[in-house]
Copies of this chain bind each other. A is one copy, B any other.
């Protein structure tokens, strides 16, 4: 594409890669702005299809289907960070792709991500990476025994919701974990002694304007997000620092759209310090509360950004707690719907497997 695309007119079509709940919520937000959505996803449980103007059910390597998709849409975005780079590159030749492919590339690989974050001056967990386990052991041994540090071995790619991760406390455990996860490139991350986990949901427009939602405090169980609470129990200057981190990240990626940045809050003698855990180049589970507590949700904010519309004011009108509904917890929805100041959201998935994100609810608390 040459030149800056014009703002999208209502009636235009937004192409979304991925048919899950995030794509569905993006499509619902786009509809309110008068846009049509075309969802592209392989066969499976694809709740986004149910609310979109049109869809393509095909693999991410199906050149023919991708070409037809690109021809049918005015802009392309995605609901997950593991879109194959080749797919993204192919589409970007025919339609504007937001967020840019660089954001995919960096976020798909933990080593690339941590290297990038370090290069732009953002603090991450300390980490070790080497194809040779002996090289990792050599560097890690002193940290375990001498300093009592604990680590997490993670696959560099395709991990989510705590999958592909093993905690280790000594060299024996490290060797075991390396064995268990063999076949994938691996990284050893040193645990950060955090007091709490927070996240910032931020948006950057095509023209470089950045707006950040208020910081949410997140609680995970078994690697899966259980709840997000706003406001987070952090100091105002820490919240401002979190916004600054998001801004720096977005600017250095020449980003357009919404990003979710997960941060550890570490208490130190110098006050609260922030360490970047990871970022996702898309709307984020820890931003679902914005739908209930802000005039413009993270989903609408993303659509506005990629459509070249003005970003909305991210101020919240209420405090809020969002809780995920996993597996059969979704059965509580009609009862939850009866509770005061509670917004429920059901994703319309066919199968309520254990631990699967089936819906969420947000309670306005003040």
Contact = CB atoms under 8 A, between A and B. Distances in A.
Interface in A316-364: 317-318, 330, 333-335, 337-338, 340-348, 350, 359, 364
A33 B317 CA distance: 23
Copies of this chain, how many?
A: 2
A88 B312 CA distance: 42
Contact of A36 (B292, B334, B344, B348): B348
Interface residues of A, number: 46
A313 B343 CA distance: 10
A135 B53 CA distance: 55
A342 B343 CA distance: 20
A34 B295 contact: no
Given A310-B334, A310-B338, A315-B341, A292 B295 contact: yes
Contact of A342 (B36, B292, B295, B347): B295
A216 B309 CA distance: 30
B317 A348 contact: no
Contact of A50 (B24, B31, B341): B31
A24 B33 CA distance: 12
A235 interface: no
Contact of A317 (B309, B337, B364): B364
A11 to B, nearest CB: 7
A317 B317 CA distance: 8
A359 B292 CA distance: 21
